[in-house]
Structure 1
């Protein structure tokens, strides 16, 4: 089959594109790599929908468990940890709590079987929409925290839409998180997800003023440093992350969730660095693993040379409206051969335009991310054909 495709052009119409003949060298590295020694790194993993299930956008998701767990084994084999049941797994956008609970149980069991590191999201999404009391919010958090800890996984206390709606100021956040941290059996990761990822979280920590919200966030950590393994900040603001990172108590990690500035934040500066918990490391797993192995040798320049070119793809996938980045992530998993279809929980495969998807394919192919560029091109042709593009 020809290496040439017709892709949507920026100004309309079509333009020719010739795909790579071979994958990048980093894909040839043997699987089974040890985790990075210099950084703790999690990839927030997507879920694989069951394309044969008769689901609706508003109904519970049906997952292909074999493919979903196989992808997690792919991440562990590259030496990455798995951040499970997070927003990348479509929590609140196709995956309900019942599905997330089963995902946590299955993935935690798989992690034990292969010796992989796993941390799982704890939220309040079992609560039906509507006004809720702070007591109800705490009880929902407690239920999910208990389940995660029963599996032996580390807990990630996710930002809660219900808490954002119920809280009447910073003290509600301080009291809720203090209550949960006192109950946690082991140190947790605190997750601050910005409104660009979920508009319902605007004003989290009790204020739309980010300086005031940051002060409350840091108060919670300072009051319970022994119960906080680290924090994940997803505000797409590198300067704010660095400022917060420098104010953390000793022993509390900063896990970057900044999918726009991750190379510089993980590389760090003379005053410290960030670890990582990133959705973009789902499609970038082999490249990220290769770059981290270079960083382990102390070669920061080599690390940046490998990882910096991926930022254009990441910024494209996470462009506004950012909450739909999952569509591009799943597209790339399909094109790379990790799953057999481009169906998503909640039918979110339709959330991005054809030009957006075509550009994601081109950027990923240019990076050499596809193990079989010919397969990726053939699958991209089939998608283009659905939209009426004749090759």
Structure 2
């Protein structure tokens, strides 16, 4: 099979040539110029009850093999975060098991792993600040006992509780201060914008990012030895650069901006961002090859390899952005990292076929199809399963030719 079928918003099928697989080479040693984590997804058992509201029934072999794939390209894994469907289908029991298993896999593979610590196991929404602190500490202890690094995730409970106080910024400083004091090693703070989770509106005490940044920086200044970095996911490159310049030298900026990561990682002469990206789970070979180019001092190659992938990432993360996990899992399926296009909570149905077709088109154009023939077989087969066949594309082409001849 040497071609792809592509489906337009109008339902018309067209054909595109299938590009060859990129000849990216795995690194022979650690990546040096940037620290890069791929935020990984989870793979459910294909036969499980993967419907909304049901507990996650994880295919652990496929899920952990995907992390080994990321490690083989020299990237770290950021796990049990929003890409793994935290607050969107991954229940607390599955989170705990994922943290334990992914930390063990990292040790075996010699890879670096950080995991999300949150308050999402609380059974009631209106938790007090004290309950939120205890919830954070409980998950923090589990993550550290497992041997994983920690990303202190943005908490829906904290966003809700802080809004109800007279001084939201003070509430954030209190909660983060108490949790950081309990950390056994420096952690990464997490700032997730409303495009990823609307329930996090006003995080760090304000809807104005510059005012919220004042609170974030104050939290770090209160305990600089306990914060190793910030993962910032506001999809606003200017805001990220502004905050990056305010961080102490001991704290890295990890871009979570899946729209503008190429320039942010490259830097601006004053500084650069490292990476903690869901996009890099879908683009591990490309990301690795680009950072290897930076390691070699070849900025042109970096831009040539990674630059075109931004359009693909922007499609995966298109509004509503919180459904981007569907695109990440879809690409993992196309590339042979899972046997079925299934997701926890039925989230594989969150994107339309034309949306997925555009992902296929851009992945083909940017070298993100690791096994092009397999990807074409699976995608064309998915279209056929939905009653869309290659004969439709031939008919459309013939009609277009006829119209052109008459013109």
TM-score (norm. length: structure 1): 0.96
Show the counterpart of 2:207.
Answer: 208
Q: 1:6 to 1:40 in 2, by over 3 A?
A: closer
- The root-mean-square deviation of aligned C-alpha atoms, in Å, is 1.2
Question: In the TM superposition, what whole-angstrom CA distance separates every residue of 1:325-361 from its partner, at most 9, and x where no partner exists?
Answer: 0101111100001111100011100000100001101
Q: 1:25 is matched with which residue: 1, 23, 30?
A: 23
Larger Cα-atom Rg: 2
Cα displacement (A) at 1:112: 0.9
Show the counterpart of 1:273.
Answer: 272
Show the counterpart of 2:123.
Answer: 128
- How many pairs align? 386
Q: Is the 8 A contact 1:34 1:78 kept in 2?
A: no
Show the counterpart of 1:42.
Answer: 37
Q: Is the 8 A contact 1:319 1:325 kept in 2?
A: yes
Show the counterpart of 2:154.
Answer: 159
In the alignment, the residues of structure 1 paired with residue 303 and residue 89 of structure 2 have an alpha-carbon distance, to the nearest angstrom, of 35
Q: 2:103 is matched with which residue: 86, 105, 108?
A: 108
In the alignment, the residues of structure 1 paired with residue 109 and residue 49 of structure 2 have an alpha-carbon distance, to the nearest angstrom, of 33
Cα displacement (A) at 1:81: 0.4
Runs of 4+ in 1 over 6 A off after TM superposition: none
Q: Is the 8 A contact 1:33 1:78 kept in 2?
A: no
Q: Is the 8 A contact 2:56 2:90 kept in 1?
A: yes
Cα displacement (A) at 1:9: 1.9
In the alignment, the residues of structure 1 paired with residue 28 and residue 159 of structure 2 have an alpha-carbon distance, to the nearest angstrom, of 40
Show the counterpart of 1:224.
Answer: 223
Structure 2 residues without counterparts, runs of 5 or longer = 391-407
Q: 1:112 to 1:204 in 2, by over 3 A?
A: same
TM-score (norm. length: structure 2): 0.93
Q: Structure 2 matches for 1:246-257, cutoff 5 A?
A: 246-257=245-256
Structure 1 residues without counterparts, runs of 5 or longer = none
Q: Structure 2 matches for 1:1-391, cutoff 5 A?
A: 1=1, 3-20=2-19, 22-26=20-24, 29-30=25-26, 33-167=28-162, 168=165, 169-391=168-390
In the alignment, the residues of structure 2 paired with residue 10 and residue 115 of structure 1 have an alpha-carbon distance, to the nearest angstrom, of 45
In the alignment, the residues of structure 2 paired with residue 362 and residue 122 of structure 1 have an alpha-carbon distance, to the nearest angstrom, of 36
Determine helix, strand or coil for the equivalent of 2:279.
Answer: coil
Cα displacement (A) at 1:371: 2.6
In the alignment, the residues of structure 2 paired with residue 43 and residue 269 of structure 1 have an alpha-carbon distance, to the nearest angstrom, of 23
Q: Is the 8 A contact 2:38 2:276 kept in 1?
A: yes
